Amino acid sequence: MFRSQQYRAKAAEYDELIKGSTDPDEILRLQEQQDRFASLADNEQGLADEYDNAVQVAEQGRSHGLALAAEEELILRCLGAAIIMQWNALPTTLQREIFDTAGSIGKLLETAALRGQIARFLHNHKDDAGRGKRPLADDTPAEARSCTLALSRWDDEGGAAGDGPPI
């Protein structure tokens, strides 16, 4: 916007020169210069406005993307919790496939460490899975409560049993 103001100031200078001139040729030349600087000022202002609009649209899109990412993260957490809750009921081949898939997500150099973490987690929680629904403690995070309540409601409504093949 600074350049726009500079161009407008220059156009104002030519306007003053026009007012003080009596030569028609000089007035014509000065008016052309004034029009040129006024046009440059308008162009600069338009570019600045378009840039501001583009930045605002990008920021809105980014915040919308963050909201979607947060929603998807909650869904993935709920699905992960549901798998862990039913882990012992899953066939061994499916357990291995899920383990292999989960262990291969992420950076290639961290795959072994991730697989170790997943294996330790599954080992530490192997007796927790499939025990049925445990009551929620008062200190259970709201996110976990939401996932657990959604799973309970889904189970109460028949879950996947009456819905045909799982998706």
In a domain, 143, yes or no: no
Q: Is residue 92 part of a domain?
A: no
Structure confidence by residue, pLDDT tens digits, 80-134: 888 888 888 889 899 988 888 888 877 777 788 888 888 888 888 776 655 544 4
State which residues form the domain around 67.
Answer: 1-72
Long-range (24+ apart) CB contacts under 8 A made by 8-12 are: 8/37, 8/38, 8/41, 10/37, 11/35, 11/37, 11/38, 11/41
Interval 50-59: pLDDT, tens: 777 766 666 6
Residue 148 lies in a domain: no
Residue 12 tokens read as 């104002």
Structure-token match 């081949």, residue found: 93
* Residue 111 located in a structural domain: no
Judge if pTM exceeds 0.75.
Answer: no
* 61 vs 122, residue with greater confidence: 122
In a domain, 153, yes or no: no
**What's the number of domains the chain is made of?**
1
Within a 10 A sphere around the Cβ of 117, how many other Cβ atoms? 13
Residue 18 maps to a domain:
yes
Q: Please enumerate in sequence order all residues whose Cβ is within 8 A of that of 31, keeping only pairs 6 or more positions apart, or say none.
A: 14, 18
Calculate ∠ Cα 114-116-121, nearest 5°.
95
Whether 142 maps to a domain, the answer reads: no
pLDDT at 167: 41
